[in-house]
């Protein structure tokens, strides 16, 4: 009878460890120590010491290789669901189809195509594309949840976070392609603030309505505080750099006081070089954080096994290992690939049709980028959340209430961290490759709002516990930002430095428009 993989790996590790101990001279016959001669130094090495050290290093390297092989085998067995029930194609398609009522909006996809090519009213095209993206976004969420059964907790979380940012990243790439850099920057800030304040705040309100507090993983919370802070403060550096230059020129005795004389192609070149270097450094931070989360130091192979991990998190990991998914992994990946392609085209048409909102003159462009577009990307999750809340309240009053969850849902904060440390630097590098003048010099109001959001989130989650009152405070602060943004027209210097073409031409165009 063959032993399980974990048992085989454990016995092999024990044998290799014994060999290493023998190579170090730590044998089990310690009851008979070697005789010590008088006046002989114990630091004298025997001729076989060097060979023992080499043998020990070889055995240690062999142990690491064997552990790596066993880990790959365990991952492959989990991905292929070895020894468990296989899911057919028909069952997988049926599960996707009936996964949510939002799938009824899939019919909006072909209608959106017709609306675009037939040049219907822009407001109608925007609305139809909006509902089409709602259905596609839900497919990303459901597909990410199903892939977690095959990828495990760590890679599954990364897949869900990446798929959760798919709509926002696609909108950002479309704006970059159209060289709408000012709108792109405000959208980046709006997406991060939305997933820092409104989404987790609403989750804390609904999740903590019937329990005094909910738990967060302390190790993940501490790491998220650091990652979020460094991502946000990185945006403060170019703003401080630009403000220092501005102050120097205005207070100097020999430099001209006109702000237009400060905005030059040479200044933008310096900002571009600075932004590209900062983007590479942010990517390094994000990669290191993923490595730490996937393979933390110590005997535990994941943070869910840490002593301070919430019990609800451990139960979630066990559920991923024991329960069966609803969708075949290959069918899931195929549907997600098709959904991403459809969403990319639909999002581009929606961005094109949004010009009617900008040309109306009633809504500032800052509000469109910071509030409207991020809310569009969140529409599916918001609709699901509203329906879930209504269903939960009806069940609470008319049926047996569901026990409250003790684990707070803070995945949206991970979405903000990935968007700040991965997607935003990636936009900078893609802009570098496509010769677009995208820098990390953001609007001062946007950066101030983002720093405030970061402060609120870190303060609320500092004790790794949340309640509904703290969640309501986060939602209210998001409403405050949305209110102030409604009246904000934007910083003209950022508009000039973000224009495609020379800075002088941008200054001339802005002067003519005034």
Q: Which of 317, 13, 7, 290 is nearest to 161 (CA)?
A: 290
Phi, psi of 215 (to 5 degrees): -105, 150
Rounded Cα distance, 393 and 387, in Å: 10
Name the token pair of 420.
Answer: 């700040």
- pLDDT of 119 > 90? The answer is no
Beta bridge partners of 466: 214
| Residue 8 within any structural domain of the chain | no
User: Over the stretch 331-368, which tens digit does the pLDDT of each residue have?
Assistant: 889 999 998 888 888 888 888 877 776 766 677 888 88
**What pLDDT does residue 433 have?**
94
**What pLDDT does residue 278 have?**
96
| Residue 163 within any structural domain of the chain | yes
**Per-chain mean pLDDT for the chain:** 77
User: Over the stretch 377-407, which tens digit does the pLDDT of each residue have?
Assistant: 776 565 555 555 565 555 555 555 555 554 4
More confident residue, 360 or 6: 360
- Local structure of 490: helix, strand or coil: coil
Helices (H), 24-121: 49-79, 89-97, 108-117
User: Over the stretch 424-456, which tens digit does the pLDDT of each residue have?
Assistant: 999 999 999 999 999 999 999 999 999 999 999
Ranges 102-116, 189-203, 290-304, 436-450, most confident: 436-450
- Do 351 and 171 contact (CB within 8 A), yes or no? yes
Rounded Cα distance, 161 and 155, in Å: 10
- Do 366 and 488 contact (CB within 8 A), yes or no? yes
Mean pLDDT over 453-463 rounds to 87
More confident residue, 128 or 83: 128
| Residue 5 within any structural domain of the chain | no
| Residue 445 within any structural domain of the chain | yes
Alpha-carbon distances, residue 465 vs 216, 218, 459 (angstroms): 6, 9, 11
Mean pLDDT over 34-41 rounds to 45
**What pLDDT does residue 36 have?**
46
Percent over 70 (pLDDT), the chain: 68
Task: Return the residue matching tokens 């048409």.
Answer: 349
User: Over the stretch 239-288, which tens digit does the pLDDT of each residue have?
Assistant: 999 988 865 555 444 444 455 667 888 899 999 999 999 999 999 999 99
- pLDDT of 182 > 80? The answer is yes
| Residue 390 within any structural domain of the chain | yes
| Residue 300 within any structural domain of the chain | yes
Q: How many CA atoms lie within 13 A of 364 on its CB side?
A: 16
Lowest mean pLDDT among 7-16, 131-140, 247-256: 247-256
User: How many structural domains does the chain have?
Assistant: 1
Q: Which of 35, 179, 211, 143 is nearest to 500 (CA)?
A: 179
- pLDDT of 227 > 60? The answer is yes
SS3 for 242-291, per residue?
HHHHHHHHHHCCCCCCCHHHCCCHHHHHHHHHHHHHHHHHHHHHHHHHHH
Q: Is 351 left (phi over 0), alpha (psi -120 to 50) or beta?
A: alpha
**What pLDDT does residue 298 have?**
62
| Residue 71 within any structural domain of the chain | no
Beta-carbon count within 10 A of 403 CB: 8
Alpha-carbon distances, residue 83 vs 95, 106, 286, 479 (angstroms): 22, 35, 35, 51
Residue span of the structural domain in which 340 resides: 83-509
Rounded Cα distance, 458 and 470, in Å: 12
| Residue 480 within any structural domain of the chain | yes
Please, which pLDDT band fits residue 237 given cuts at 50, 70 and 90? Answer: very high
Task: Give the angle subtended at the CA of 504 by the CAs of 359 and 366, to the nearest 5°.
Answer: 30
């Amino acid at each position: 009878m063959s032993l399980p993989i974990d048992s085989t790996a454990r016995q092999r590790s024990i044998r290799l460890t014994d060999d290493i101990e023998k190579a170090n001279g730590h044998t089990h016959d310690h009851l008979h120590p070697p005789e010590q001669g008088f006046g002989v130094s114990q630091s004298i090495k025997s001729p076989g010491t060097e060979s023992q050290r080499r043998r020990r290093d070889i055995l240690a390297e062999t142990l690491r290789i064997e552990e790596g092989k066993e880990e790959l085998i365990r991952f492959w067995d989990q991905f292929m669901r070895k020894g468990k029930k296989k899911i057919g194609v028909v069952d997988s398609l049926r599960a996707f189809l009936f996964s949510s009522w939002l799938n009824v909006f899939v019919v909006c996809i072909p209608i959106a195509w017709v609306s675009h090519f037939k040049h219907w009213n822009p407001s109608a095209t925007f609305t139809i594309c909006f509902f089409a993206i709602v259905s596609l976004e839900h497919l990303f969420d459901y597909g990410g949840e199903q892939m977690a059964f095959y990828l495990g907790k760590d890679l599954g979380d990364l897949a869900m976070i990446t798929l959760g940012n798919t709509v926002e990243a696609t909108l950002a790439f479309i704006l970059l392609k159209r060289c709408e850099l000012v709108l792109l920057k405000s959208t980046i800030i709006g997406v991060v603030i939305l997933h820092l304040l409104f989404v987790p705040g609403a989750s804390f309100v609904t999740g903590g309505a019937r329990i005094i507090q909910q738990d967060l993983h302390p190790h993940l919370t501490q790491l998220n505080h650091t990652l979020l802070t460094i991502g946000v403060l990185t945006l403060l550096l170019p703003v401080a750099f630009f403000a220092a230059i501005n102050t120097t020129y205005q207070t100097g005795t020999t430099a001209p006081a006109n702000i237009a004389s400060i905005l030059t192609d040479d200044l933008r070149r310096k900002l571009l070089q600075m932004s590209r270097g900062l983007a590479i450094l942010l990517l390094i931070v994000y990669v290191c954080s993923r490595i730490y989360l996937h393979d933390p130091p110590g005997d535990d192979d994941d943070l869910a096994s840490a002593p301070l991990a919430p019990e609800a998190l451990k139960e979630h990991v066990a559920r991923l290992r024991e329960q069966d998914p609803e969708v075949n992994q290959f069918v899931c990946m195929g549907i997600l690939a098709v959904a991403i392609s459809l969403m990319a085209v639909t999002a581009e048409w929606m961005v094109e049709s949004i010009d009617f909102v900008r040309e109306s003159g009633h809504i500032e462009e800052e509000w469109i980028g910071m509030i409207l577009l991020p809310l569009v990307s969140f529409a599916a999750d918001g609709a699901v959340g509203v329906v879930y809340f209504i269903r939960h309240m009806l069940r609470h009053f008319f049926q047996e209430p569901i026990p409250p969850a003790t684990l707070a849902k803070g995945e949206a904060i991970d979405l903000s961290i990935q968007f700040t440390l991965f997607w935003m630097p990636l936009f900078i590098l893609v802009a570098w490759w496509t010769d677009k003048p995208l820098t990390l010099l953001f609007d001062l109001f946007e950066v101030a709002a983002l720093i405030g959001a970061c402060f609120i989130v870190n303060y609320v989650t500092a004790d790794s516990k949340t309640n509904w009152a703290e969640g309501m405070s986060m939602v209210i602060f998001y409403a405050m930002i949305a209110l102030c943004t409604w009246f904000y027209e934007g910083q003209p210097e950022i508009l000039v430095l973000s224009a495609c073409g020379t800075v002088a031409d941008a200054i001339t165009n802005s002067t003519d428009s005034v």
